[in-house]
Amino acid sequence: MSMFQYPLHMRFKLIALAPQIYVTDANGQDVLFVRQKILNLREDVRIFRDSSKTEEVYRINADRIIDFSANYHFTDSKTEQRLGSIKHKGIRSIWKATYLVTDAVDQQGFHISEDNPWAKVADALLGEIPFLGMFTGYVFHPAYTAYHEGSETPAMRLEKRPSFFERYYEIQKLDDNLAQHEEQLLLLSFMMMIQLERSRG
């Protein structure tokens, strides 16, 4: 049984002191709220049940000062249980983003690959052009697919959707047989990955 009703929608406010992500389900209900702490040498991301920030459910922390090869660890905020991690896959990430996703015992279960790197390049370059940049979100839609390691079976996909004054992404669950801990691991991976990808351009 799925944790949420898909597709999920992730929205970034373009003008915010600290990066924030609002996550809603297929019915428009708040399901998660992501807030990244600012002025930290290491990534420190907190995930709450909703935007009221009254209940913290997950934390994401880097294992070193912000670095290309950092490993980002997921923790259950209530139990302090380690859930897994995500990291870039070597030098290939400079062109086509590839991330490795491991579970609580460091076993790699998934990898996330960028579907079409040219879409991201065009979106980033044209997005810097005055006026024209407002419309790139309606033309170029970078997408990332999570695959089961070893089988190349798609499990989940994140895709940028059309938007004007915010960044809007949609998450589709592609494998109905995903266990809840796998679903949780991939959602946390996408939430961290998209913040890293935004910093890459």
* List of domains in the chain: 8-200 (2.40.160)
Residues 29-66 as b/e (b if ≥16 CB within 10 A, e otherwise) read eebbbbbbeeeeeebebbbbebeeeeeeebbbbbeeee
- Average pLDDT per block of 10 residues along the chain, 201 residues long: 91 70 94 78 83 94 74 95 91 69 95 75 52 51 90 91 77 95 96 78 44
DSSP state for residue 5 in the 8-state scheme: P
**Identity of residue 173:** K
Helix, strand or coil, per DSSP, at residue 178: coil
This prediction has a pTM of: 0.84
CA distance 73 to 89: 15
